[in-house]
Amino acid sequence: MNHFKTLALLSILSAVLISIGYMIGGNTGIFFGVVIAAVTNLGSWFYSDKIALAAHKAQPVSKEEAPELYAMVEKLAEKADMPVPGVYILPTQSANAFATGRDPEHAAVAVTQGIMKMLPADELEGVIAHELSHIMNRDTLTQAVAATIAGAIGFLAQMLQYSMWFGGMGGSRDDNNGPNPIALMATLFLAPMAATVIQLGISRTREFAADAGAAKLTGNPRALANALKRLDASARQMPMAGNPAYEPLMIMHAVPKQMFSGLFSTHPATDKRVERLLELEKEVATA
């Protein structure tokens, strides 16, 4: 179901992109916007691991430097039948973790000093399993595709704005009457917002999928549920500083956004995630 939702949201993003591109310049407008956005976003995706790790000043650690953490990552990676990712520690007392990399062969798992101190071993194992699930599901690729399409929508909306300012829209289409001004204004303001909402919806869907993957990998859904509750409480007391652009990577909001609608949230509500994990626990017990 989560994969179906992701595909549906990506399809809607694509439809919005096609519509705004056609308004601007027919097939040429669509192609031009996609090419520009794809070059930028796919370049970022290719170097996503290096960029994200550098942004958080993550330090690589060896088996000798962090034996317990490294052993935990190795055990879970072996159980998941995937290459052992690079292991990094972020020098902050805020409790969080993330995975990055374009595929399982070029991946990394990073945890903060704070999360290692705060969580007991079984809960930390659940967090790491969640991040490995992101890698196995290639969620970094999914997010890169979503970012590419959303970026193209934003770029084409900007082109539309410039065209309206300079009065160039009248001849951009084969239609002698030109585009509908009301449709143009609606596209200008609503399309980028819709793209953002859909992109964040994809992020939330992938979090549910990674939670389920972690529960399956460890066989202990309650441990991850308990970890999420601790992390949510910790984020309210000690928010994690950093570029908000990387917040979708984190297992938990860097800063809880209580004043904003769930539509603009990068993560599902913690209580909903916990509820689903406890339902999985019942299913495991029944099986």
Identified catalytic residue from 64, 74, 125, 131: 131
Residues forming beta bridges with residue 100, ordered by sequence position? 108
Q: Which residues pair with 255 in a beta bridge?
A: none
Residue closest to 100 by CA, chosen among 92, 88, 108: 108
Q: By three-state DSSP, how is residue 222 classified? A: helix
* The token pair that represents 221 in the structure block: 């859904």
Q: Examine the residue annotation and report whether 131 is marked as an active-site residue of this protein.
A: yes
Provide the edge-to-edge strand list for the sheet that holds 97-101.
59-60, 86-90, 107-112, 97-101
Cα–Cα nearest to 6, from 134, 190, 154, 158: 134
- Where do the H-state alpha helices sit in the chain? 2-46, 48-55, 67-79, 113-118, 121-136, 139-165, 181-218, 221-237, 270-286
Q: How far are the Cα atoms of 23, 152, 186 from residue 172, in angstroms, in the given order?
A: 8, 18, 18
Pairing of strands 86-90, 107-112: parallel
* Residue 235 contacts residue 111 (beta carbons within 8 Å): no
* DSSP assignments along 247-271, one per residue: GGGBSS-SS--TTS-GGG-SS--HH
Q: What amino acid positions are annotated as catalytic residues?
A: 131
